[in-house]
Amino acid sequence: MLQSLASNSCVRLIQSHKSTWYFVSLVLGYILYLIFGAVVFSSVELPYEDLLRQELRAIKKQFLQENECLSEERLERFLKKALDASNYGVSILNNASANWNWDFTSALFFASTVLSTTGYGHTAPLSDGGKAFCIIYSMIGIPFTLLFLTAVVQRIMVFSTRRPVMYIHRRWGLSKPLVAIVHATLLATLAVSCFFLIPAAIFSALEENWNFLESFYFCFISLSTIGLGDYVPGEATNQRPVNQSVYLILGLIVMLVVLETFCELQQLKQLRKMFYLKKEKPQDRLAIMEHDHLSFTTVSNRATAYTEGKTPTFVSVPTLASPNDDPMIQ
């Protein structure tokens, strides 16, 4: 009997706090996913890092042996200076001397990466004035970009998703959730083809040292606004940064349209509701307001009675002149 009561109470506790348990499981799942990613990246990339370190040590040792007039300290200072300049997008290589990072088209590409929060990191402001302006420009520009993208996506969604789904639903009488799923799948396939596969093929043809996987990797890193900066196009002389800026802005708009289309699916809405706090129902809110109003009215009436010198009587008790007047005693 006690066990059944305990089990019933546990079930009622879980049912009453279902969204909280779902949220806790979501947090734990996210932490486990982070740990899983760290383990995989470490196991895959650590051997390559160790191999690269060994190769660099061997090349440095061989270079010092072939150039005995150069000390290791002077070489270290030179390499540090070159690496610091490379972090700002300035290279000492002969084939990179003709490429400027702060002409108008390159600055336009940098501004687009800042406002879209992609931030490849291959180019950064050198001066203190440029860094200060970048802060102010980003504080104003990033919310402005979010407003711009939201307005554009809201208008595109009407013609790309809502009207086609409603037309097919009314014209052929198909189930609206089914039509929405098929439409979202087709839209995602079209977006991947036009903004991932085709651009990856173009980048792999234009960039000499990029294969198709590296080009596709660049497209995904860019349009997902991760922006690691390990692959940045534009090294070839026939490419202009303005084309990359247009690709970045259009790609972000299309990705947001696809994400918004999937977010409007009924199945995903139900999934999101599992982890959200339940909204207070209008009936419950009205009952609470009425209760508060009645309580406030009662308190106000009592306060008025006290201020007027009247003591509110809850039970009328007769005044007894003597104990013999009490009917109970009689």
Whether the full predicted model's pTM is greater than 0.75, yes or no, is: no
The pLDDT, as a whole number, for residue 213 is: 95
The pLDDT, as a whole number, for residue 228 is: 83
Question: Is the predicted pLDDT of residue 139 greater than 50, yes or no?
Answer: yes
The pLDDT, as a whole number, for residue 278 is: 72
> Averaged over 145-157, what is the pLDDT?
95
Question: Is the predicted pLDDT of residue 241 greater than 80, yes or no?
Answer: no
> Averaged over 21-25, what is the pLDDT?
88
Domains of the chain: 16-88 (no CATH), 101-276 (1.10.287.70)
> Averaged over 134-154, what is the pLDDT?
95
Find the helix or strand (DSSP H, E) in which 175 lies: none
Which residue is associated with the tokens 């700002």?
88
Q: Which of the pair, 259 or 95, is modelled with greater confidence?
A: 259
Query: Are the C-beta atoms of 260 and 153 separated by less than 8 Å?
Result: yes
The pLDDT, as a whole number, for residue 109 is: 87
Helical axes 163-172 vs 176-192, angle rounded to 10°: 140
pLDDT digits (tens, 9 = 90+) for 253-302: 999 999 999 999 988 888 888 888 776 665 555 555 555 555 445 545 55
pLDDT digits (tens, 9 = 90+) for 117-133: 888 877 888 889 999 99
Q: Which of the pair, 84 or 37, is modelled with greater confidence?
A: 37
Q: How much of the chain exceeds pLDDT 90, in percent? A: 43
The pLDDT, as a whole number, for residue 237 is: 47
Report the distance separating Cα 128 and Cα 134, nearest Å: 10
DSSP label of 160: I
Q: Which of the pair, 70 or 47, is modelled with greater confidence?
A: 47
DSSP label of 120: -
Q: 26-53: string of b/e by CB count within 10 Å (b at 16+)?
A: eeeeeeeeeeeeeeeeeeeeeeeeeeee
Report the distance separating Cα 297 and Cα 285, nearest Å: 18
> Averaged over 128-141, what is the pLDDT?
94
Phi, psi of 25 (to 5 degrees): -65, -35
Q: Which of 4-18, 81-95, 129-143, 290-304 has the lowest mean pLDDT?
A: 290-304
pLDDT digits (tens, 9 = 90+) for 183-225: 999 999 999 999 999 999 999 998 888 999 999 999 999 999 8
The pLDDT, as a whole number, for residue 217 is: 95
Dmax (CA) of the chain: 128
The pLDDT, as a whole number, for residue 299 is: 45
Question: Can you spell out the DSSP letters for 283-298?
Answer: HHHHHHHHHHHHHHHH
Query: Are the C-beta atoms of 259 and 161 separated by less than 8 Å?
Result: no
Report the distance separating Cα 99 and Cα 235, nearest Å: 8
pLDDT digits (tens, 9 = 90+) for 68-79: 888 888 888 888
